[in-house]
Structure 1
């Protein structure tokens, strides 16, 4: 049975918080320098409540008031061993975007967000693809394949797909900026990696100046010439810069959708 993923596996451990003895003025100054709309409030590392930007702005005219006087004391929290799916249900049912995570002594040790949960689902979907590629390699070439996961340098990737689409590339760049990128799937060769899945992500990383990406790496027990490598060479595909970026209107799904719309219009 697959072990269930816990909150502690995906929570952010470095949490921005406010000390309960700060004044409204001091808290607003911190708020203006941050990207957050609310903060956990702590006393001696223990979580005592939460305060929002609205709470602070409502008290703008009383800058010396301690924030402990306006801190919301009733809040929903998570424990690190809570199943991540259960945390997602709690957040959904209560309309929450994040949950503070506390230990058995009530100390703030992390925070779990909608983004963290989305990232977990993306990463958990990838192993099914990896198993499919692994089984295909072993049956096709009579080799044994070991799967590992670690970051790989972008400049060591050899692509096998000669074109990608601009709209999807934009989406992958957005995901990378948000930390939501699904790991690549690559096959390790002697001095490089054959890119099997994740061409849009790899080019997005190149465009953003990202040097490494997480990857599921398939390591073969002996070197063989892969059919996908031969096809790539025939297309003069050596580096990521050799991949053509197609306008979104040339995406095959756009063409199919257009045909369907026209067909329905003519009926």
Structure 2
């Protein structure tokens, strides 16, 4: 991605639409079939309106969409910066915008989830850059960073445990397409997982075989501290990672302790 990602980089190009001649009944069936709560109204390839689930309330089943659709439609241009479309979505309260070209033809749709995903992918490289600089400084080497898909079953973990509640969050993100790339160091016959243990375990639970990753290749002669720690901890495959239940999550423990203190008459002030 570029420093200024565009709408065209994140939009969904396959869009469910309706024509002005469709009826309320048709759209209700489309909502049931797709799970979406609104659709661009398209005629001759151009966006002429928008119909939402709330706009169907108390309407006759046979009423034409052309008579109830909103004609004042906010749209995004394919070349808009994602930061700009984020402002439009935030200020308008819309969850999605049709994307059009200069002639007004529908080319896709951009959602608030796409905005979040674009933000995640911009913050991830900072982690990778920090790791790259650390490796170069400690080992006096130059390393490159590549973006590719990796087989998660080949990953060697460096973290012995993950938390069940955070795992639930990562599963949700993966289902929504929001998870950021994992970070991996590659040796000749080894893929060392540096960042993304919750994401990887979540992917495994969902039956996902490969994941997007930032990969940093290093020589086998480089002795990594995290690699030695993983070996001494008996970490060889993802199955060696323990999933801790909610009661053992440190945030839950803090909450329980605060609650107990409150019951004993102590007062706490959040910083």
Give the TM-score taking structure 2 as reference length.
0.90
Cα distance per residue 1:101-153 (max 9 Å; x no partner): 11001001111111111111111111111011111111112222110111111
User: 1:176-255 to 2 correspondence within 5 Å?
Assistant: 176-220=174-218, 223-255=221-253
User: 1:103-182 to 2 correspondence within 5 Å?
Assistant: 103-182=101-180
User: 1:18-97 to 2 correspondence within 5 Å?
Assistant: 18-61=18-61, 63=62, 65-97=63-95
User: Any idea what SS the aligned residue of 2:15 has?
Assistant: coil
Q: Displacement of 1:201 after TM fit?
A: 0.5
Q: 1:3 to 1:206 in 2, by over 3 A?
A: closer
Q: 1:258 to 1:30 in 2, by over 3 A?
A: closer
Q: Displacement of 1:32 after TM fit?
A: 2.2
> Which stretch shifts more, 65-74 or 236-245?
65-74
CA contact (8 A) 2:187 2:220 kept: no
Structural RMSD (CA): 2.0
Q: Displacement of 1:33 after TM fit?
A: 1.0
> Which stretch shifts more, 244-253 or 192-201?
244-253
User: Any idea what SS the aligned residue of 1:19 has?
Assistant: coil
Q: Displacement of 1:260 after TM fit?
A: 5.2
Q: 1:54 to 1:263 in 2, by over 3 A?
A: closer
User: Any idea what SS the aligned residue of 1:133 has?
Assistant: helix
Q: Provide the rounded CA distance (Å) in 1 between the counterparts of 2:113 and 2:190.
A: 32
Cα distance per residue 1:81-113 (max 9 Å; x no partner): 112112111111111111111100100111111
Q: Displacement of 1:221 after TM fit?
A: 5.5
User: Any idea what SS the aligned residue of 1:128 has?
Assistant: helix
Q: Provide the rounded CA distance (Å) in 2 between the counterparts of 1:220 and 1:75.
A: 52
Q: Provide the rounded CA distance (Å) in 1 between the counterparts of 2:162 and 2:54.
A: 44
Q: 1:24 to 1:250 in 2, by over 3 A?
A: closer
Q: Provide the rounded CA distance (Å) in 2 between the counterparts of 1:158 and 1:128.
A: 23
Structure 2: gaps spanning 5 or more residues: none
Q: Displacement of 1:47 after TM fit?
A: 0.6
User: Any idea what SS the aligned residue of 2:77 has?
Assistant: coil
Q: Provide the rounded CA distance (Å) in 1 between the counterparts of 2:221 and 2:139.
A: 10
